[in-house]
Amino acid sequence: MPNDINKQFKYHLYLASGISLWKNFFSKTYSEHFNKKISLFEPGTLDNPDDHRFIPIGIACQDLDEINHADALLVYMKKYQPIDNSPSGTDSAWECGYGQGYGKPVIVMIEDEEHLDYYAHQWMVSFSINAVLTDNPQVVELAKNHPKFVHATIIFTKDRNQFENKIIEYLDNHYRSIYSRSGLINYKVDERAREIFSENNLRDNVFSFAIADNQIGKWLKSLRGLKFNNDKDSEKVCGLERKISRYLDDKLTIENIDQALTATTSEWNETPEKIIACLKHSILPPFVKIKDRHHGVKKTRPELFFELYDLMTHHLVLGQRFIKNPNFPYDIGAIVELYNWMNTYALDDVFDNSQLRQKEPTVWEKFSRRDAIFTGIIGHLLTLKYLLLVTKEKPDLGKKLAQTMNNYNLMMYQGQVFDLLLTFNSAKKKKLLNKVDFNSIYKLYIQRVYGICGGFYEAIGELSAKAGNKEEQFHNSDELDKIAPLIGMYYGIIQMIRNDLGDYIIVEEENGISKGMKGISHSDIKEGKADIPYLVAMHSSSLNQRSKDFLYQSLFNHQLTFGDKKRINKLLWESGAIDLTVELLVNLINHVKSNLLTEYQETPKRMKWMFSLIDITKEIILPFKRQALKCNWRKYEYDHELLKYLTEQIIRLEKTPREKRLKQ
């Protein structure tokens, strides 16, 4: 955020410009328009000799310090003749690169067409600029579709006295967008979702009156008589979803999907009104308008797709993109959310007996378990159909995107089997917990997290790599086919482990803390799910057997009291399990930043910020600290070898072929 140097000014800028250029041009034409509302440091004002050989090193150190403390760089470079006939602009170009490397917005001043052409030749500078400042309308028109400037924001004013106001407005938006960009993406995704998934469009796309697919119809008949309230029935549903994915793998056309939809609605055997009511209810929470806001709940999946897709395309003019429709990334985001809610959550809530999602009754709670199962199956099929529909101008791309999501569906319902294995929802299953080696359980947990969450975000990364015309922009485009999915995978795993940890925050004691997807704390424990912090505590040598027995008995206890929740947290805190989980996430975040994001030639600040925002994992420990101080809890050191082991096990996923990651 803006630094606090020169507090009388809102922002502090550093002028990257040659000393002679400043003396002969900038100071005479532009200096008077600054240092009223914005502090602009102009290196030429220092006591610099014309001969650069005699500039003292202290001047360079001061300039460097000014860049470090600047909120942005203002760049004024153009052709001129240095006194020693050396190439002009080398120092300024270095300043631009240094500032950009530290994430400082780079604003270049362009006067006319010739000046624009000069920057186009300075291609490493133009590649990295964030904004163009000009008072020339011709420059605005030329820059809009210029391949070197299409990614830059145009700051235009006819009155040079407005330069400061316009820069302030730009920087306000720039710094706010680090956080508000999330809301803007959500807004556009919701706007598109309400159109694409309107009741009429849902009706038209579900009931196409195609001939029913007999094979899928035959498999669906196997659901008759199931109550869907035990692990065995849940596993049958998972198996059915995997069968459908394999069957459709080479049949991804709208005609074949319509036949599958007809088979599903026929076997569901409810009125179209009832079916549409179930589908609409499943996607009510993410897309509903919230009072005083235009968009619904936060959507990390569409955000991740948008940012990774933007990495692939933000330097490309519209004609170079696979899909010319500017709504395309928001349409994909909406479809990803439809899958998440209409398929994943609709079915998962049945498996977990969850009654609420975002304070709304789950599909099975409002209708029936059978209705929720069929809602989930249709959610899978509609996802594939919508991907084909929004890519009609490039059918081959549509098929690739549909295959990506269909392949993930296959993985997802293998991951759900691991989720069921790690849900200790009976006395018989809980007994296994005391007999199984903890390292084996940790491995199962990692497979569970990968299968039901990491794999989903991995698929989103793969969608971005396929949807963006990366060959036009990246020299290592083949490498990005591997990197983008891995970035997604880690983002999903980090999110899920962090959310598991957040489930222990006792919301009754914390004002302003989100109550999570299910509206209560310790919901996973009530459902019988053991996660990393819980397993670490049960495995800890710092806790006595009585404490471990209490943790064991608390699993699948729907009657947990406020006192029980506090005691669980006390044991997690004292065993060091909370600290270990936080450090595990920090290790994963640092791995992504150091080894994956660096593979992009230019990683826009907001992608780094997406991982910095989940890096606020450090802050999630604060409610636990407050609780520990209030209750005078002690804390033991966690097992550092266990932390190393868990980190290595998760990182090992990226080195394991995808098809082997969920092998038992």
Residue 47 sits in a domain of what CATH number?
Answer: 3.40.50.450
Distance CA 630, CA 625 (A): 8
Q: What is the mean pLDDT of residues 56-66?
A: 88
List, for residues 275-303, the tens digit of each pLDDT value: 999 999 999 999 987 766 666 778 889 99
Percent of the chain with pLDDT over 70: 91
* Residue 49 confidence (pLDDT) above 80: no
Distance CA 455, CA 447 (A): 10
Asked if residue 319 and residue 408 are part of one domain, the reply reads yes
Domain end marker among 135, 156, 177:
156
Is residue 320 domain-resident?
yes
Q: What is the mean pLDDT of residues 49-62?
A: 81
CATH number at residue 446: 1.10.600.10
pLDDT value of residue 5: 46
Asked if residue 459 and residue 403 are part of one domain, the reply reads yes
Is residue 177 domain-resident?
no
Is residue 397 domain-resident?
yes
Lowest mean pLDDT among 316-330, 404-418, 521-535: 316-330
Asked if residue 311 and residue 260 are part of one domain, the reply reads yes
The pair phi, psi for residue 75, each rounded to 5°, is -110, 125
Q: What is the mean pLDDT of residues 534-552?
A: 95
Is residue 166 domain-resident?
no
Q: Which domain holds residue 292?
A: 187-660
Is residue 163 domain-resident?
no
Q: What is the mean pLDDT of residues 448-465?
A: 95
Domain total for the chain? 2
Distance CA 452, CA 111 (A): 54
Distance CA 123, CA 76 (A): 15
Question: Mean pLDDT, the chain, as a whole number?
Answer: 89
Domain end marker among 156, 173, 203:
156
Distance CA 175, CA 609 (A): 11
Task: Compare 378 and 3 and report the one with higher pLDDT.
Answer: 378
* Residue 649 confidence (pLDDT) above 50: yes
List, for residues 188-206, the tens digit of each pLDDT value: 999 999 999 999 999 999 9
Lowest mean pLDDT among 350-354, 389-393, 428-432, 606-610: 606-610
**With bands split at pLDDT 50, 70 and 90, how would you rate the model's confidence at 604?**
low
pLDDT value of residue 510: 57
pLDDT value of residue 159: 96
Domain end marker among 113, 137, 156:
156
366-403: b or e for each residue (b if 16 or more CB lie within 10 Å)? bbebbbbbbbbbbbbbbbbbbbbbbbeeeeebbbbbbb
- The model's pTM is 0.84
Asked if residue 376 and residue 306 are part of one domain, the reply reads yes
Structure tokens at 550: 């209490």
Is residue 562 domain-resident?
yes
Is residue 208 domain-resident?
yes
Asked if residue 267 and residue 214 are part of one domain, the reply reads yes
Asked if residue 232 and residue 113 are part of one domain, the reply reads no
Cβ burial of 533 (10 Å; 0-12, 13-18, 19+) is buried
Q: What is the mean pLDDT of residues 472-501?
A: 87
* Residue 456 confidence (pLDDT) above 80: yes
**With bands split at pLDDT 50, 70 and 90, how would you rate the model's confidence at 609?**
low
Asked if residue 196 and residue 146 are part of one domain, the reply reads no
Distance CA 23, CA 547 (A): 75
* Residue 471 confidence (pLDDT) above 80: no
Asked if residue 581 and residue 523 are part of one domain, the reply reads yes
Distance CA 52, CA 649 (A): 55
Asked if residue 207 and residue 150 are part of one domain, the reply reads no
316-325, 349-358, 384-393, 609-618: range with highest mean pLDDT: 384-393
Lowest mean pLDDT among 83-92, 233-242, 389-398: 83-92
pLDDT value of residue 4: 47
Task: Compare 218 and 435 and report the one with higher pLDDT.
Answer: 218
Asked if residue 191 and residue 146 are part of one domain, the reply reads no
Distance CA 238, CA 416 (A): 7
Asked if residue 138 and residue 268 are part of one domain, the reply reads no
pLDDT value of residue 612: 62
Asked if residue 204 and residue 125 are part of one domain, the reply reads no
Give the helix/strand (H/E) hosting 370: helix 369-389
pLDDT value of residue 15: 97
Is residue 5 domain-resident?
no
